[in-house]
Structures are given as structure tokens and as C-alpha cells.
Chains A and B, each alone.
Chain A
Amino acid sequence: MSSDCPSTASGPRVRTAEELRAEVANLEGRLAEADKMALLGRLIASVVHEINTPIGSVFSNNQVAAKGLETLSRMLEEPAPPPKAQQIVKTLRSLSDVDRMACERISALIRSVRNFSRGDGERPAKAALQDVLANSIKLAETSFRNRIAIEAQLGPAECECYPSAMGQVFLNILVNAGQAIENDGRIQVKLAVEDGWAHAAITDNGQGIRPENCGCIFKEGFTTKPMGEGTGLGLSIARRIVEEKHQGRIWFESTVGVGTTFHVSVPVAGPVVKGEA
């Protein structure tokens, strides 16, 4: 964007088409950022819940370890350690295994949040799209908890892309899929490279999209969800990221009562940058 702001003293200056375009791009960028933060904000509650279990374990184990060591040290003072001592050692070993797993789980979750919140550079970069997608799945899963089974088949898909923006696209689609499933359900995620395109398909067995809504779902502000649950921004931003930023395609198939598949396809070589074509 040009650096000379229209000054109020000299009155509003007529802006060039170039400036307007830049302004729109800037606003779109900020809207996408806001959507990303909203997605994260909504997921935070479930991420916290997800972290609570391992933390509860670690706290408990710590208390048990302290008590166990105390008992052991008392037993060591006896001429012959009672058989219970072996038992305690065994228990403490199993708890230290649990602690390691708990810490791994907590740090994996925190890593996912950090990966997701990381921004993109000005230009597309080489990234493993399967890792980006896996990261979004990990985050989405926290809100599905045990309600929804996720089956993922993610093939390698090295892409020139904006990884953080793609993560946002996937998370939006996954969250929608989860919201479309009322009780228990299943989400299948596939990723593969075909003819120079990385193609992701996310299939849910949720309520489906009613035919009269099919033309609207990518429109900004269109939502069928109650206030507070949806703002109708997710897919419009996903489309912009896929089509404009990556010169890719996003589309869906849906049958009411059966489910929905969202497809995202982006060129592995990345978008053709203007002036370099």
C-alpha cells in the first residue's frame, strides 16, 4: 500500500484503482485473520479440556510418587525390605511412563495451536500439506472429543503454498463437518497428489446441505447456525484463500441425510505469481 495517507487537511483525495485494490486486499487479509482468531478462540475451550486430563494425571502421579518414595525410604531402614517395596517401585515406574505420555500429549497440543497461529510470509513457501492437514485435524478433534471418529489417509503432498492459510481452510471445513453431525458420526479425510494437484477430500456423515442452500454457502455471512455458533464467514474465507491465494479449487457434494464431502485442490507448484508467468 502507498505510504502517503490521504490527509484530512487537504480534503479526501480521489484514490486510484490500484490503491483501492490494495485496500480491499488489506481488509480481506484482516477479515481472514479475524476468522482465524475466532476459530482458535472457539477451540481453546476444548483444547483446555483436552489438556486437563493429562495434567490431572501428572498432578496425581506426583503426589503418589512423593508418598511412595517416603514409604520406600522408610522400608530401606528395615533390615530386609518387605515385598511391598517391589510393588511400590513397579507402580512408580508405571507412573513415570504415564507422566512422559502426558507431557507429550500436552506439548503436542500446544504445538498444534502454535503451528496454527503462525502467520504466512508474503510469498508461498514449500510445505508438507499432509502435516498442515494433520495439524488441523488434531485441533478439530479436541472439540469432537469422543463423539466423532476421524479416519485420515494422508499421502505426502509437498506444495508451494501458504501453509497457515491452508490450515485455516481445513480447520473451517472440519469444524463445519463436526457441527453437521448431530450425535455420533464419522469424518473421513483424504489427501493425495494427482497430476500436479494436491487434492483433499473431507467427508462427513452429517445432516447434509439442503438443495436451496447449495448456492449460498460460500457467500459471506450466510449461515444456518444459531447466533453465537456461526457467523457465516468460514467458507467465504476458505474460498478466497483457495481460489485467490492459491489459484486452486474448492467445491462440495452433499446429500441431505447422508452427508457432505468438501474438496480442496491446489497446484503443487504453487500459484503463478503475476509478472513471473
Chain B
Amino acid sequence: MDSTVRAEIVLVDDEDMVITSVRAFLEMETEHNVHGFTNPNDAIAHLETHPVDVVVSDYLMPQMNGIQLLARSKALQPEAARVLLTGHADKQSAIVAINQVGLYQYLEKPWDNNQLLLVVQSAIERTQLFRSLQTKIAELEAAHGNMADIRAKLIKAFL
């Protein structure tokens, strides 16, 4: 994918250290805007007002866990891809929750940067593709009347 496409990434981890490192990495490798939050509630506030392409969240955090955060994200912006970052010990709970929040991918800590980049890029691509298809359908709809059926199929296939 074209890495010059600017995307909006939300990154949530209660460890400042992780945010700084991941943000530095993504900013070095891409042109994306990375919004880091150590408090999931601040991330939700951001999601309420800003369109986002991908949300990457830690699993274990004091205020709420990553699954709960991603569930909120799904409710607010269903098309924004959801990625969970988990410690090895939480893997089981992560797997159980995959269906619950329509997880795009999960990554294990300590994370591998190349894998992270791959996942984030393809997640962004997917979200942006979905959004542009939706706009196309809206345009077609304006021109040709009822396209609700196609739209519904698209949503079902993607989310």
C-alpha cells in the first residue's frame, strides 16, 4: 500500500513507554498521525469526535480492558479497524473476545515492529477501501435510486 497516504491511528496503552516507542516507530516509517492515549476514556472521547482508520489497544489497563475499549470503538466507528495488543498470559481472553468486537488482528507483546507495521497498514487499507466504496455507493444511489441492498451486503461483508 502507498505509505504516503495519511491515516489516523489511535493507540491506547497504559504504559507511556509503549506509546512513545510505537509512535516513534510509526512516525519514522509512515506519514500517519498517531494519537496516543494512556487512559482509554480519553481515547473514547477522541473517537467520539474524530474519524479514525485504526485503533490499536493494549489488553490489560486499569480503567477498562482492551476488549471493552474496542467494543466502544466499534459502536462509535464500526469501520475503524480494531487491533488488540496482548501479553502472552492474556492470549486466551483475547481469543475468546475476537468475535465479540470483530477484531481485525491481535498482536502479542513484546510486539514485532515489522508485523505491527504490516497489520496497521493493511488495516488502514481496508478501512479506507470500505469508506471509499461507501462514498461510491452513496453517489450511485443519488444517481440510480435504491442501492440499500448493496450497501447492506457491503456492511455485512466488512464489519
Contacts and interface: CB of A to CB of B under 8 A. Distances in A.
A and B from one complex? yes
Interface of A: 45-46, 49, 52-57, 59-61, 63-64, 67-68, 71, 88, 91, 94-95, 98, 101-102, 145-146, 149
Contacts, number: 67
Contacts of A59: 110, 113
Main secondary structure on B side of the interface with A: helix
Main secondary structure on A side of the interface with B: helix
Contact of B25 (A64, A101, A149): A64
Interface residues of B, number: 22
Given A53-B15, A101-B17, A45 B28 contact: no
B28 A67 contact: yes
Contact of B18 (A57, A88, A91, A95): A57
A55 to B, nearest CB: 6
Given A56-B21, A63-B25, 13 more contacts: A45-B89, A49-B89, A56-B18, A59-B113, A60-B22, A61-B24, A64-B21, A64-B25, A94-B24, A95-B21, A95-B24, A98-B20, A101-B17
Contacts of A61: 21, 24
Contacts of B88: 49, 52
Given A63-B25, A64-B25, A146-B62, A102 B20 contact: no
Contacts of B111: 56, 60
A49 B87 contact: yes
B60 A145 contact: yes
A270 to B, nearest CB: 40
A87 to B, nearest CB: 8
Contacts of B87: 49, 52-53
A71 B28 CA distance: 10
A88 B20 CA distance: 14
B6 interface: no
Give the 8 A-B residue pairs with the shortest CB-CB distance, closest first: A56-B110, A146-B62, A57-B21, A60-B21, A57-B17, A64-B25, A64-B24, A52-B110
Interface hub of B21, B25, B87, B89 (most chain A Cβ within 10 A): B21
Contacts of B24: 60-61, 64, 91, 94-95
B110 A64 contact: no
B17 A98 contact: yes
Nearest to A58: B21
Contact of B109 (A56, A64, A71, A102): A56
A59 B25 CA distance: 11
A102 B15 CA distance: 11
Contacts of B109: 52-53, 56
Interface string B117-133: 00000000000000000
B8 interface: no
A63 B29 CA distance: 11
B28 A68 contact: yes
B84 to A, nearest CB: 15
B118 to A, nearest CB: 14
B27 interface: yes
Nearest to B14: A146
Nearest to B20: A98
Nearest to B110: A56
B138 interface: no
A53 B20 contact: no
Contacts of B17: 53-54, 57, 98, 101-102
